Structure 1
Amino acid sequence: MAAIDNTMKLLIKFPDGVYNGIKITVKGNIPSNAVRFAINLLCGSSTIEPEDIAFHLCPRFKEGRVVRNSRSHKEFKDEESAGGNPLSPGSSVEIEIECTDSAFKVKLNGSSFCEFKHRLPFDRITHLDVDGDLKLSHISF
């Protein structure tokens, strides 16, 4: 996909769905006053209150952690946040999420950060949602 200039909520449909081997790349700049942003892989297009989120990635700067979670039947499950937060306000970021048969593998600025085991079937994912304190410059998959 092309360059994006956006600081608002963004919702993009995956034209071919999500499948084993797909790599989703999100690049942007984190404002110096950032509190948090979220990248969500949604099962459906409703961002107001999605019923199911296969993967929620949320860097929280004041808390010093990157939360990973899923949401099923309108309830978030047990969150994971080991590994701290290597991202910082006032810097650029490249986030790569690779879908494998068993997990989402996340790289932050080129370095392996975490794996999040699938809790929902990844073939149900239809949309990418990016929201919060991130000025997007590029998204590809």
Structure 2
Amino acid sequence: MTHIQETKTENSRRTIEIFPATMIEIKKHQLRYGQDGKTGLLFPAVHGKYLPPTTYLRYYFKPMREKVKIEKGFHAFRHTHATQLITAGVPIQEVSRRLGHSRVSTTLDIYTHAVKADEIKAMQAMDDIHNRLKSGNKA
């Protein structure tokens, strides 16, 4: 029997905005597996009961992970999502909110590598500007 437990913190229970195209895929998934969406579960077992975690990992997660070439671990999707948001320039406060972190400092502690990559990009951009100015090309 699977036990659904409360979230760790109040911030963990949140609404995440997703693209309409993603919502369409979720609805297709629900229809494909005879779900009506009323259970509140994205991956319920037959008759709306809870899907055992091992079944989810074997039939949903592993094929998805292989398709997008993420090496291992369930949190790899979360980690990849956060890292891509940060490197795309999404404000760290929004990334932190989406992850359900109660403090931005938690996000910064975990994703320092992505922030460092942005610092390197900024440094390179400033170096390019400096070199253009130095050479007399102001464009």
Q: Same fold (TM over 0.5)?
A: no
Larger fraction in helix? 2
> Which is bigger in relative contact order (C-alpha 8 A, separation at least 6)?
1
Structure index of larger Rg: 2
The answer to which structure has the higher strand fraction is 1
